[in-house]
Amino acid sequence: MSVGNEQIVGYWVEHEIDLAIDWSEAHERCWRCGYKAELEQCPVVPAALGGTDTADNLVLLCGRCRREAPSHQDPQYLWRWLRATSVSSYDTYWTMRGWKEFEVIFGRKPLECFKEAEIDHRSLNAECRALAADEFAKTVIHFGEGRLNPSTIACVIAEIEKKLADRHGIELP
C-alpha cells in the first residue's frame, strides 16, 4: 500500500518537525525551497540503506531539491540539510542561490559597488527592476527544469549590474 502526500504531511504535523514552510501548505509546497510544485516523496533514509516506504521516512520535495537531498543512512543529515538550506520566504530560494552563485563566480557581493555611490537608491531599485525584467526575458530555462538555475540568475545579476554601472559612471571591480 502506497503512502499519500496527505499522510506524510499528517505524520510530520503530529511530530512537530520545525521547518520553514507552513504546514497548511506542506502538501503543495516543497519543504525546502517553498515553491509550489509537483512534489515527490523523498526518503529520509533511502531504501537501499534500510529505509522504509512509510510516512515516518518520507518528506515532500520538488524534483530539483530531491536531486540535491542527502542520501545517507543517518536521518539526522536530511533534517539538518532541510533546516540549514530552506528559506521562510516562499518562491525566493533559487533566486537567493543565484545571488550566492554570483559571489562564487565574481568573488564579491552583487551590487556592492553601489553602496557608496551618491545615487538615489529608490530610483536605483526601480532601474534594477526594469533591467531585471528585460534581462530575464533574454534567458531560457534548461529543458526539464522548470526554473532558471543559479548560474543563469548570477549572469542576469551581473548584466544588470554592468548596465547600471554604465548608466551611472561607476567602474566595476
Domain layout of the chain by residue ranges: 5-85, 93-168
pLDDT score, position 1: 59
Confidence of residue 16 (pLDDT cuts 50, 70, 90): low
Which of residues 114 and 101 earns the better pLDDT score?
101
Taking only the tens place, the pLDDT of each residue in 77-104 is 999 999 999 888 888 888 899 999 999 9
b/e map of 144-158 (b: 16 or more CB within 10 Å)?
A: eeebbbbebbbbbbb
Least confident window among 20-34, 78-92, 103-117, 139-153: 139-153
The radius of gyration of the chain from alpha carbons, rounded to an integer in Å, stands at 20
The CA distance from 83 to 74, in Å, is: 16
Residue 74 is predicted with a pLDDT of: 95
Mean residue pLDDT of the chain comes to 90
Q: State whether residue 108 is helix, strand or coil.
A: coil
Percent of the chain's residues with pLDDT above 70: 99
**Residue 101, phi-psi category: left (phi > 0), alpha (psi -120 to 50), beta (remainder):** alpha
Q: How many CA atoms lie within 13 A of 22 on its CB side?
A: 5
Whole-Å CA distances, 68 to 64, 78, 83, 110 = 7, 10, 14, 25
Among candidate residues 132, 117, 121, the one with its CA nearest the CA of residue 172: 117
- What fold characterizes domain 5-85? DNA Binding (I), subunit A (1.10.30)
State pTM to two decimals: 0.77
Confidence category of residue 66, pLDDT binned at 50, 70, 90: very high
